[in-house]
A and B are shown apart, each in its own frame.
Chain A
Amino acid sequence: MPKKRVKIVEKIMDANDRLANQNRQRIDDAGAYSLNIMASPGAGKTTFILSTIAALQPKGIQLGVIEGDTAPVTIDADKINAAGMPAIQINTGGDCHLDAIMVENALTQMDLEPLDLLIVENVGNLICPASFKLGTHSNVLISSVPEGDDKPYKYPNIYRGLEVLIINKTDLLPYIDFDMDYFRKGVEMLNPGLATFAVSCKTGEGLDGWIEWITARISK
């Protein structure tokens, strides 16, 4: 029996992308803005989210958080709840990233109607989350200075898909060798003109610019 070639040309991530579009529709229908926050482990994702909550709460902005973790712990979700905002914990069961299906499940468990801003905290990882769309409006990467100034060169994919870059832990700059110009040049090659905010969540320095950026995108 001869072989026959069947031309397909289908994007392998298509199924995930379609589901991501449905997630976006649901978030849009609820009138909320949404963020996918990515970073390596320990870059300060949860602390950054808590700082954002602290700044937006007094303005009467309602936030909801979806927390992705590889292990069945609720440490991060507990912190968000303690700050007075609803949080849904996703345990990826060892998977190194969130995908559109996991976010869909979390959206089903959450009351989206009252929300102005939905924050998804991805699994701490600079590689896999870059490949999976979730349906959120903006991708945000938190890069902390102790990780080193070479990260854009080593993990180019994640930088290319960003709408916002947060350079965190700037209070540590006097103590470490971090060449800001070299770092920013790498970012510029991957994502020209990317909105970038250098902040310290410890001292609060630089957070104003970020809060202004996100507030402008939340329709009240």
Chain B
Amino acid sequence: MHELSVTESVLEIACKHAEQAQAKQVTDIHLVIGKLSSIVDDSVQFYWDFISKGTVCENATLHFKRIPAELVCLNCDTHYTLEDDLTPCPNCQSARIRVVAGEEFNLDSIEIRK
């Protein structure tokens, strides 16, 4: 439900870098989103279409790259990828685990025309 404010941040960062690169138009925006980030792609796209109007980013296509959640067991050092539900270590069943990837929420790159 907080996608409006994060979409505004995406627009702000993209416009800043477009200006620095002296772009006439931003055609594509590449976002990297970890599976554990509670961001809904469709919702970001919905807000994007409204708030990018009249900016250098108008009509830019959003690309979402999802990164899986990776965990490491603090007990036996087993690395594993999280499926849908939160699960203990598949090797030793320990619940002492740490997230090593999946929390990313980055603007990776933009594609521009000068």
Interface residues of A (CB under 8 A from B): 1-16, 95-97, 99, 125, 127-128, 130-132, 152-153, 156-157, 160, 185-186, 188-190, 192
Decide if the interface of chain B is mainly helix, strand, loop or mixed.
Answer: mixed
Q: Is the CB of B21 within 8 A of A6?
A: yes
Q: Is the CB of A192 within 8 A of B2?
A: no
Q: How far is the CB of A151 from chain B (nearest CB, A)?
A: 12
Q: Does B38 contact A (CB under 8 A)?
A: yes
**Residue among A1, A6, A15, A16 with the most chain B CB within 10 A?**
A6
Closest 7 CB pairs of A and B: A128-B2, A189-B95, A96-B1, A188-B95, A3-B111, A192-B96, A1-B113
Q: How far is the CB of A121 from chain B (nearest CB, A)?
A: 18
Q: How far is the CB of B1 from chain A (nearest CB, A)?
A: 5
Interface residues as binary, B56-72 with A (CB distance below 8 Å gives 1, 0 otherwise):
00000000000000000
Q: Is the CB of B112 within 8 A of A8?
A: no
Interface residues as binary, B98-114 with A (CB distance below 8 Å gives 1, 0 otherwise):
11000001111111111
Cβ contact of B6, chosen from A6, A12, A125, A189, cutoff 8 A: A12
A127 to B38, CA, bound (A): 8
Q: Is the CB of A130 within 8 A of B86?
A: no
Decide if the interface of chain A is mainly helix, strand, loop or mixed.
Answer: mixed
Q: Does B49 contact A (CB under 8 A)?
A: no
**Inter-chain contact total with CB atoms closer than 8 Å:** 104
Cβ contact of A128, chosen from B1, B74, B107, B110, cutoff 8 A: B1
Residues in B whose Cβ lies below 8 Å from that of A1: 113-114
Q: Is the CB of B99 within 8 A of A160?
A: yes
Q: How far is the CB of B59 from chain A (nearest CB, A)?
A: 13
Residues in B whose Cβ lies below 8 Å from that of A97: 2
Interface residues of B (CB under 8 A from A): 1-2, 5-6, 9-10, 12-14, 17-18, 21, 23, 27-28, 31, 36-38, 74, 85-86, 88, 95-99, 105-114
Closest to A131 in B: B2
Complex A-B: 11 CB contacts under 8 Å? A2-B113, A3-B111, A3-B112, A3-B113, A4-B114, A5-B112, A13-B105, A127-B38, A128-B1, A128-B38, A189-B88
Residues in B whose Cβ lies below 8 Å from that of A130: 38
Residues in B whose Cβ lies below 8 Å from that of A16: 9
Given contacts A6-B17, A13-B105, are A189 and B114 in contact (CB under 8 A)?
Answer: no
Q: Is the CB of B85 within 8 A of A12?
A: no
Q: Is the CB of B113 within 8 A of A10?
A: no
Q: How far is the CB of A12 from chain B (nearest CB, A)?
A: 5
A130 to B74, CA, bound (A): 24
A201 to B52, CA, bound (A): 48
Q: Is the CB of A131 within 8 A of B12?
A: no
